[in-house]
Amino acid sequence: MPALHQTQKISASEQARALWVSTTAFTICFAVWTIFSIIGVRIKDELGLTEAQFGLLIGMPILTGSLIRIVLGIWTGRYGGRLVYTVTMVAAALATFLLAHATTYPEMLLAGLGVGLAGGSFAVGVAYVSPFFPPEKQGTALGIFGAGNVGAAVTKFAAPLVLVAFGWQVVAQIWAAVLLVTAAVFWFSTNDDPQFRARHNHQAPRKSFLQEFEPLRNIQVWRFALYYFFAFGGFVALSLWLPRYLVGVYGFRIETAGMIAAAYSIPGSIFRAYGGMLSDKIGARKIMYAMFTVAAVATLILSVPAGGAGGVMPIAVTPAVFVCVIFVLGFFMSLGKAAVYKHIPAYYPASVGAVGGIVGMMGGLGGFVLPIAFGFLKDATGLWSSCFMLLFAIVAVSLVWMTASIRQFKRRAEEDMPAGAFAQ
C-alpha cells in the first residue's frame, strides 16, 4: 500500500508526536555522539595521549556513527523504526556508561565504537519520520528532525560545567542515563510508522537483505551522497576546523575562536528546519542550486590566501569579511542539508532507509575525512585557505554534475512526451 495513502489516515496528533519525540531523541543522541569533543581533552591529559591518538579517540564515534547508518537504515525498513531507534539508543547508552569505567586507551576506543551508534540514529529517524507525512510536508518534517544536530551545542555548553565540577566520568554517566530515559520515553510514546504497519498488516513479502541494496546501484543515489558530503560533512568539518583557522590566521584568542565556532554551529542546525520548509514551498532543486551557487562564490572568496605560508603573503580577507562570508556559507549549507533529504522519500519512497542510510553515511564521513584533508593540505601547501580551495572543488563538481543530470532528465522527458504536447 503506498505511503501517501497511509499518511492520509494518520492524525495530526500522531504526526506531531512522531516528529517531536523523534527530534528530541535525535538531539540527545547527537549530544552523546559528540561527547568526546569535551571529555576527550581531559582524557588526553590523564592518559598522556599523542595528538594522533587523541584524533583517533575523538574521531572514532564520528566514523562508526557514519558507517553504521546504512545498516541501521535498512534494518529500519525491515523491522520498523520504533524498535530499531529504541534498541540503538539503549546500545549507545550502555556503551557511554561503560566508557565511564574505561581506564585504558584500548578500552576507550572500544567504548567509542558503541558511542558512535548514537550518531547512526539519524538514518533511523529519517526512515521512521518520513512515512508519517505526505510528500508536500516531508521536507519540513525532515528539516525539523535534522535540527536535532543542535545536540552538539548542548554538549559544548553543558558538559564543561559537569566536567569541572564532577569529572569526565560523571559526564559520561549522566549522558548515558539521559539517553536511556529518552529511549524509554520514545518506546512508550510512539507508534510504528505507517509503512511498517502496512507491510505487517498485509503480510507483504519482505525483501531479502541484498534486495535492500538495489537502489544503491542507481548513480543518482551517489549524486545525492556527494551533495550531503558537502552540505553536512563540510558543515561539520568547518565547525571543527574554525577555531584552529581563526587562531592560526588571525591570531584570535582560543576562547573567542571557540565562541565564533559555536555561533556558527547552532544557527546552522536550526536553519535546517527552515530549509525543509522552503524545499516544500519552492522545491528542493531550487534550494540546491542556491546553496551551490552561493557556496561557490563564498569558497572562492575564502580561497584567497589569508596570510599565506608563514605569513609572507598579505592578508587579503579581513577578519570581519571572513566571519561574514563564513556565516553566509553556513546558512546556505544548512538549507542544503534539508533539501538533499527532501529528494530521498520523493524518489525512493520504498527505500528511504537504505538510500537515507548511504547518504547519511557519506555526510558523516565528510565530517570525519575533511578535517584530516584540511590539515594535510595546510602542511603540504603552507596555505590555511587551502581548505576552502578543496571545498570549492567539491562544490564545482557537484554543481556541474547536478546541472548535467537535470538537463539529461529533461531531455529524456521531452523525448518521451507525446507529439504535439507542447502545442497544447
With a CB cutoff of 8 Å and minimum separation 6, the contacts of 11 are none
Q: Domains in the chain, start-ordered, CATH in brackets?
A: 1-206 (1.20.1250.20), 214-418 (1.20.1250.20)
- List residues bridging with 306 in a β-sheet: 315
Q: pLDDT value at position 373?
A: 87
Kindly tell me the burial class for residue 213, based on how many C-beta atoms sit within 10 Å of its own C-beta (0-12, 13-18, 19 or more).
Answer: middle
d(CA 267, CA 288): 19
Q: pLDDT value at position 229?
A: 95
Per-residue pLDDT of the chain (424 residues; tens, 9 = 90+): 344 444 446 788 889 999 999 999 999 999 999 888 788 878 888 898 886 787 788 888 888 888 888 889 888 888 889 999 999 999 999 999 999 999 999 999 999 999 999 999 988 998 899 889 888 888 888 889 988 888 877 887 788 888 888 999 999 999 999 999 999 999 999 998 888 787 766 655 566 666 667 777 888 889 999 999 999 899 888 887 887 788 888 888 867 777 787 778 777 778 888 888 898 889 889 999 999 999 999 999 999 876 544 444 445 688 889 989 999 999 999 999 889 988 888 888 877 778 888 888 898 889 888 888 888 888 888 888 899 999 999 999 999 999 998 888 878 776 665 544 433 3
With a CB cutoff of 8 Å and minimum separation 6, the contacts of 219 are none
d(CA 305, CA 314): 8
Q: Which residue has the cell 587523541?
A: 54
Q: pLDDT value at position 236?
A: 82
Tallying the residues shown for the chain, one arrives at: 424
Residue 48 carries which side chain, given as an amino acid letter? G
Residue 393 carries which side chain, given as an amino acid letter? A
Q: Work out whether the CA dihedral 293, 296, 301, 302 comes out positive or negative.
A: positive
Residue 62 carries which side chain, given as an amino acid letter? I
Query: Which DSSP letter does residue 315 get?
Result: B
pTM of the model: 0.77
Candidates 35, 238, 268, 269; CA nearest to 146 is: 269
Residue 43 carries which side chain, given as an amino acid letter? I
With a CB cutoff of 8 Å and minimum separation 6, the contacts of 234 are 333, 366, 370, 391, 394
Q: Which residue has the cell 504526526?
A: 15
d(CA 206, CA 219): 25
Q: pLDDT value at position 309?
A: 43
Candidates 281, 254, 249; CA nearest to 136 is: 281
Q: pLDDT value at position 208?
A: 63
Q: Which residue has the cell 528546519?
A: 273
